[in-house]
Amino acid sequence: MHLKVLLASLSLHAWPSTPNNATVLYLKEGASDQFMMQESNAVQPKRCVVTGGAGFIGSHLVERLLTDGHAVTVLDNFSSGHRKNLQSLSSNSKLKICQVDIAEYEQIKEHFVEIDWVFHLAALADIVPSIEQPLSYHRSNVDGTISVLEAARQTGVKRFIYAASSSCYGLATEFPTPETAAIKTEYPYALTKYLAECYVLHWNQVYKLPCISLRLINVYGPRARTTGSYGAVFGVFLAQKLAGRPYTVVGDGNQTRDFTFVSDVVQAFIQAAQSELSGEIFNVGSGGTYSINKLIALLGGDKVHIPKRPGEPDCTFACISKISKALGWQPQVGFEEGVAKMLEHIDDWREAPVWDEKSIDIATRQWFEHLGESKGSETPHSKHKILCTEEALCSATSSEEHKDCK
């Protein structure tokens, strides 16, 4: 086909998995999509370290970095990450996988020599285990972060991007929740992730290490964890759907979550690394908030209700105007599309534990014991009587202060 005819038939689209300033042109030929990329202004290949690169988000980030032509060293102890998440990439000569404990500085420092970008995602997650094992969580999430920071500092790393957690906002009272909202950590996981963020920003302030902290919120997508403790709603619900069991809905199901698809999160990491900003904190969210009842409607199936748990918010909804303005980042995957993608990969949860009312009750007893309100006292969240439903996202959304957060 002559170039003149080809260009006349092309439609121009944004392609989120390409470097900034790269031009992508799509054309339809039969059932396949092809694209041509103009590389003249593309980002030059970088040498990257991804801690926790065998995990859910980390493996997607590794895949993206390799696709973009970068070299990647994965540091993971495989306590929660899985080698199978990287199996399809194992033949790539630009990928190096190292099984190490990031808290052991002497073990990891050699891997940071001549590295351009560090993406620090390694951490222990989940609420209940953090209540039961606070020392392990501090060692992994805080001590591990200091170790990675110091390795990056000593070797002159050019960019350091930290995967922080929006759990630092606790029972937020301001929606959409900006980065300036009060910090109210409700359990050790949230505390350790926030303390690690403080260290990241401190290394930027004192040692001038170019750091950005991304506060992630309700991330979901293929490869989300299928084993381990009771936790994220998608993994629980998809396993229940495969087993023909009812969905276990906490409370009335009207609580909403800012479900953010993993490819959008990966794009935020890439744009943060490509930027020249440092010492900044950015929320990374979907731009909306969606009820658990809506999720069930999209998945299809019956449900049962279990008691509402202390320390859990009625709404999570991050303001993303700051990252949008500073980095030009915007989420691309809508909630309905994201749920459809999860259903396409539902077999990933075929071997996952199937939770029911009894097993959840046993798994969350420590949660109620340590985070429960005494003598039925009113929570700070209920005092504010926050309305956060799908029809009225949050009462604050209409305010002038948050007009850019919608």
Per-residue pLDDT of 283-327, as tens digits, reads: 999 999 999 999 999 999 999 999 988 878 999 999 999 999 999
Residues 6+ apart with CB under 8 A from 367: 127, 128, 131, 309, 310, 311
Average pLDDT of 160-188?
97
Q: What's the CA dihedral at 306, 312, 314, 319 to 10 degrees?
A: -150
pLDDT given for residue 5 in this prediction: 35
Number of domains in the chain: 2
Under DSSP, is residue 282 helix (H, G, I), strand (E, B) or coil? strand
* Statement to judge: residues 311 and 178 lie in one domain: yes
To the query of whether residue 199 is one of the catalytic residues in this protein, the response is: no
* Statement to judge: residues 147 and 198 lie in one domain: yes
Answer yes or no: is 204 within a domain: yes
Answer yes or no: is 3 within a domain: no
* Statement to judge: residues 103 and 226 lie in one domain: yes
* Statement to judge: residues 193 and 96 lie in one domain: yes
Q: Is the peptide bond before 310 cis (omega within 30 degrees of 0)?
A: no
pLDDT given for residue 21 in this prediction: 39
Whether 399 has a pLDDT exceeding 60, the answer reads no
Answer yes or no: is 371 within a domain: no
Answer yes or no: is 369 within a domain: no
* Statement to judge: residues 137 and 261 lie in one domain: yes
* Statement to judge: residues 28 and 173 lie in one domain: no
- Give the pTM: 0.84
* Statement to judge: residues 18 and 87 lie in one domain: no
From 137, 187, 189, 220, the catalytic residue: 189
Q: Who wins on pLDDT, 213 or 227? A: 213
Beta-bridged to residue 24, according to DSSP, are 37
* Statement to judge: residues 143 and 170 lie in one domain: yes
Answer yes or no: is 370 within a domain: no
pLDDT given for residue 365 in this prediction: 82
DSSP class of residue 140 equals I
> Cβ distance 197 to 281 under 8 Å?
yes
* Statement to judge: residues 326 and 183 lie in one domain: yes
26-45 b/e with 16+ CB inside 10 Å = b? eeeeeeeeeeeeeeeebbee
What amino acid is encoded at 404 in this protein?
D
Range of the domain at 353: 47-364+385-402
pLDDT given for residue 198 in this prediction: 98
Strands 280-284 and 47-51: unpaired
